[in-house]
């Protein structure tokens, strides 16, 4: 089945004229990102938009939601008054399956434990015209790449790794659920016109090096916030040499540098992948407008003139990288990694090696890893670390089983997990003798924050390519360099691993018996969506209250978060995923992972009403019960990581009125705005230091809240002194209306009520 073929034909039919018109407006040749963005404007433009400054309304082609975020997104959508989604949309059941013993038993357990949620998602999808991918069908991003992504398209998805579809030349952007509601309701989707970072790839990879190493290198160069507010566009001969799935890996992990999305130009590798996944018609259509699916030639010849920043990488010189621990941008080349392990006293013994996930579960990835597994068999080597394999989709799993790779992994003790996120997002019942013991794991995933995979602060998680992860699994030591070191086999012989080999696409084609797709009802008006009143998993939403029309006074400091505060710190995943459809229950995890500046502890803050220390959520609830608002203070890149809007909805639900930080990650800032929160930044970053534990806080200037005009925060200290601090914001007029109305959804409801 080819999804969206009529939509693609229409888009491609209109794209040349729209791009030509945009080129005249801009007055210069266009990058690929600009072509796609201007071709997806909600209304015909009358001027060029300034990157990094102008808010722009777009009309994405489709929406994708994973099951954990879809619950809240669809609970919001069902209140907005539409009978059906306005654009093609899908739900993918991938986040709620816990990895424990193996694929078959874990999937069966998930279907039982999560039945209420799966039934809700299936029925609400059926009612509103949404395609539903059942548990076991695969990880959202892999399924999208195999079925929906197409060159030159634009989509949004309620997951930060939605940019994976950039591997097929699509502008694919991670958003919160409220943004998805806008698009599904047929409204424009707003985004600040992104800046453009060009990454020129020359040469060609060989040997142990893979596409994963490109993004690991880029993460090291740009850091976790270096791509914020920008689309990263890869180009050059090196880019065209990469497989489509390799491109997807790079775009997927671009989320770790804060990029709006990442993108590759249409080429023969993409055409090959489209054909291999049953979309020959799409490849033919793309070939027909090929020049419009690539940057203009002038951009290639003089990239510094057309991108805001250009970095260059010679793939001939690239070596494998290992990034981490605790942050995905701590990049170390394999030649220096053993020394780094020893110098930093990271645990040398590797306990678990995990390959797969949405980032690295392609046929190419699995085949290269399997070639190393086969070497281990042939050379009488045994894996010295636990080894797991997570297929990205049922289509990939079925094909790699058919082609014998799963048997190969089984022979070296590999455990195949369900086609789901599993350990990548904390859904892992890890077996460990002492959870407090410092230990090391390595994955081919994308994210490695503390506690991310197994909930253990003691775990040092590293990220590398599937090939390197597999080699480490065999060696059992992080000081092993597979490019030059020997291993002692079962016979006492010293042997070396040869370079991995593999193929981009299955020689005998992809196969699958049941992909796991459920098409929606043609008319869903009679479909009943049931949410039990006493459910602990699902809760119907009540509108948030509108702004009271005055400045905010007498607010209590809830927490002053120190250092890295990701969405994992604000709203943990793992066991909390089961409450993603129940706002009140999941709010009990709010900020429990954030470090309190004043005592260096997590989930321990001073209650201004009692003077005692206690959990963050309970303290917030105490303030809310006393009709007192509160404020959260944060550090740099606050809200880094996942797109989860729960990290914005929970503070809103528990009475937090403002989040004031040194800087925000893009998606989280937008999510806060959507929920009617104040997302503010210190005009002087050093003013963060003026916030004291017993402060009572006022926020002034709200009665004249306008774009570009700073607000003032008054810190009333316990000793009677005070500090006035200037706060900047990025609100435009519609976003200010969201704040006044109590949230963007309230504005949507009012519009549909008319």
pLDDT tens digits for 131-186? 999 999 999 999 999 999 999 999 999 999 999 999 999 999 999 888 999 999 99
Torsion sign across C-alpha atoms 436, 438, 442, 445:
positive
User: Taking 90 as the threshold, does the pLDDT of residue 750 lie above it?
Assistant: no
Across 293-419, the runs of DSSP E, i.e. the strands, are 309-314, 321-323, 331-333, 350-356, 386-390, 415-416
User: Taking 80 as the threshold, does the pLDDT of residue 754 lie above it?
Assistant: no
Q: In this structure, what token pair is assigned to residue 577?
A: 């995923």
| pLDDT for position 81 | 83
Average pLDDT over residues 392-403: 97
pLDDT tens per residue across span 277-304: 999 999 999 999 999 999 999 999 999 9
| pLDDT for position 516 | 96
pLDDT tens per residue across span 302-324: 999 999 999 999 999 999 999 99
The answer to whether 694 and 742 have CB atoms below 8 angstroms apart is no
| pLDDT for position 568 | 92
Q: In this structure, what token pair is assigned to residue 319?
A: 């070596």
| pLDDT for position 714 | 98
| pLDDT for position 232 | 98
Q: Which of 62, 92, 161, 447 is catalytic?
A: 447
Q: How many CB atoms lie within 10 A of CB 486?
A: 12
Q: Which of 4, 67, 94, 454 is catalytic?
A: 94
Q: By CB neighbour count within 10 A (0-12 exposed, 13-18 middle, 19+ buried), where does 415 fall? A: middle
Average pLDDT over residues 214-239: 96
Q: Which of 159, 182, 403, 687 is catalytic?
A: 159
d(CA 161, CA 154): 14
| pLDDT for position 574 | 81
Q: H or E segment at 418?
A: none
Active site residue 95: yes
The conformation of residue 598, written as its DSSP 8-state character, comes to: T
d(CA 538, CA 582): 5
User: Taking 80 as the threshold, does the pLDDT of residue 753 lie above it?
Assistant: no
SS3 per-residue string spanning 195-258: EEEEEEEECCCCCCCCHHHHHHHHHHHHCCCCCECEEEEEECHHHHCCCHHHHHHHHHHHHHHC
pLDDT tens per residue across span 454-503: 999 999 999 999 999 999 999 999 999 999 999 999 999 999 999 999 99
The answer to whether 161 and 143 have CB atoms below 8 angstroms apart is no
pLDDT tens per residue across span 562-598: 999 999 999 998 889 899 999 999 999 999 999 999 9
d(CA 578, CA 168): 32
Average pLDDT over residues 362-379: 97
- Confidence at 79, pLDDT banded by 50, 70, 90: confident
- Confidence at 1, pLDDT banded by 50, 70, 90: confident
The answer to whether 616 and 591 have CB atoms below 8 angstroms apart is yes
| pLDDT for position 15 | 98
Which of these ranges, 14-18, 175-179, 377-381, has the smallest mean pLDDT?
A: 175-179
Q: Which of 161, 644, 652, 668 is catalytic?
A: 644
Active site residue 159: yes
Q: Which of 92, 95, 368, 452 is catalytic?
A: 95
d(CA 62, CA 24): 28
| pLDDT for position 707 | 97
Torsion sign across C-alpha atoms 562, 567, 573, 578:
positive
pLDDT tens per residue across span 657-676: 999 999 999 889 999 999 99
Residue 704 makes CB contacts below 8 A (sequence gap 6+) with: none
Active site residue 642: yes
Q: In this structure, what token pair is assigned to residue 678?
A: 């104040």
List, in sequence order, every residue forming a beta bridge with 373; answer none if it has no partner. Answer: none
Average pLDDT over residues 432-457: 93
Q: In this structure, what token pair is assigned to residue 46?
A: 């009358």
Q: By CB neighbour count within 10 A (0-12 exposed, 13-18 middle, 19+ buried), where does 661 fall? A: buried
Q: Which of 452, 642, 646, 695 is catalytic?
A: 642
Strand 321-323 relative to strand 331-333, pairing: antiparallel
Measure the CA dihedral 130/136/138/140, to 10°: 40
Active site residue 603: no
């Amino acid at each position: 089945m080819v999804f969206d073929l009529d939509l693609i034909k229409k888009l491609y039919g209109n794209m040349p004229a729209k791009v030509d018109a945009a080129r005249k407006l801009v007055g210069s040749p266009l990058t690929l990102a600009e072509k796609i963005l201007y071709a997806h404007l909600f209304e015909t433009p009358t001027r060029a938009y300034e990157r990094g400054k102008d808010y722009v309304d777009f009309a994405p082609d489709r929406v994708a939601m994973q099951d954990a975020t879809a619950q809240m997104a669809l609970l919001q959508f069902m209140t907005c008054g539409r009978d059906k989604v306005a654009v093609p949309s899908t739900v993918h059941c991938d986040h709620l399956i816990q990895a424990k013993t193996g694929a078959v038993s874990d999937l069966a357990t998930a279907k039982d434990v999560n039945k209420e949620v799966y039934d809700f998602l299936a029925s609400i999808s059926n009612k509103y015209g949404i395609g539903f991918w059942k548990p076991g069908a695969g990880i959202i991003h892999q399924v999208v790449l195999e079925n929906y992504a197409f060159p030159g398209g634009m989509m949004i998805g309620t997951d930060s790794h939605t940019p994976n579809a950039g591997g097929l030349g699509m502008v694919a952007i991670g958003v919160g659920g409220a943004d998805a509601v806008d698009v599904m309701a047929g409204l424009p989707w707003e985004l600040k016109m992104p800046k453009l970072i060009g990454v020129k790839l020359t040469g060609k990879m060989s040997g142990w090096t893979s596409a994963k190493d490109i993004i690991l290198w880029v993460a090291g160069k740009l850091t976790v916030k270096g791509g914020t507010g920008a689309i990263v566009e890869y180009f050059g001969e090196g880019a065209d040499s990469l497989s489509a799935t390799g491109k997807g890996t790079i775009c997927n992990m671009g989320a770790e540098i804060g990029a709006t999305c990442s993108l590759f130009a249409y080429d023969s590798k993409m055409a090959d992948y489209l054909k291999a996944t049953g979309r020959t018609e799409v490849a033919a259509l793309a070939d027909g407008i090929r020049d419009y699916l690539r940057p203009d030639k002038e951009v290639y010849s003089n990239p510094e003139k057309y991108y805001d920043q250009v970095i260059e990488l010679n793939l001939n010189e690239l070596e494998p990288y290992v990034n981490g621990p605790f942050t995905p941008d701590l990049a170390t080349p394999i030649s220096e990694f053993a020394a780094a392990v020893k110098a930093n006293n990271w645990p040398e013994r590797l306990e678990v090696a995990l390959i797969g996930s949405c980032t690295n579960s392609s046929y190419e990835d699995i085949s290269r890893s399997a070639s190393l597994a086969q070497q281990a068999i042939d050379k009488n080597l045994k894996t010295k670390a636990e080894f797991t394999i997570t297929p990205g989709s049922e289509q990939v799993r079925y094909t790699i089983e058919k082609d014998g790779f799963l048997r190969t992994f089984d022979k070296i003790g590999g455990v195949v997990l369900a086609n789901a996120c599993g350990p990548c997002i904390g859904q892992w019942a890890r077996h460990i003798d002492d959870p407090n013991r410092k230990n090391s794991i390595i994955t081919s995933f994308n994210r490695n924050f503390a506690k991310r995979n197994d909930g253990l602060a003691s775990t040092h998680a590293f990220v590398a390519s599937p090939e390197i992860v597999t080699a480490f699994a065999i060696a059992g030591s992080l000081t092993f360099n597979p490019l030059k070191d020997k291993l002692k086999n079962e016979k006492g012989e010293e042997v070396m691993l040869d370079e991995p080999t593999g193929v981009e696409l299955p020689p005998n084609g992809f196969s699958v018996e049941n992909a796991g797709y459920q098409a929606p009802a043609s008319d869903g008006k009679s479909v009943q969506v049931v949410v039990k009143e006493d459910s602990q998993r699902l809760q119907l939403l009540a509108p948030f209250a509108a702004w009271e029309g005055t400045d905010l006074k007498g607010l209590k400091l809830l927490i002053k978060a120190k250092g890295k505060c990701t969405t994992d710190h604000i709203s943990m995943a793992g066991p909390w995923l089961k409450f993603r459809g129940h706002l009140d229950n999941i709010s009990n995890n709010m900020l429990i992972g954030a470090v309190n500046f004043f005592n260096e502890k997590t989930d321990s803050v001073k209650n201004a009403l009692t003077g005692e220390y206690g959990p963050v959520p309970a303290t917030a609830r105490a303030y809310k019960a006393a009709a007192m608002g509160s404020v959260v203070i944060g550090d740099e890149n606050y809200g880094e990581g996942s797109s989860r809007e729960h990290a914005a909805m929970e503070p809103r639900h528990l009475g937090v009125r403002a989040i004031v930080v040194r800087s925000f990650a893009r998606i989280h800032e937008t999510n806060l705005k959507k929920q009617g929160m104040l997302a503010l930044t210190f005009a002087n970053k050093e003013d963060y230091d003026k916030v004291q534990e017993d402060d009572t806080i006022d926020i002034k200037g709200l009665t004249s809240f306008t774009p570009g005009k700073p607000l003032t925060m008054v810190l009333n200290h316990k000793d009677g002194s005070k500090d006035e601090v200037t706060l900047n914001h990025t609100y435009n007029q519609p976003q200010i209306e969201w704040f006044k109305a109590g949230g963007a959804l309230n504005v949507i409801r009012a519009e549909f009520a008319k």
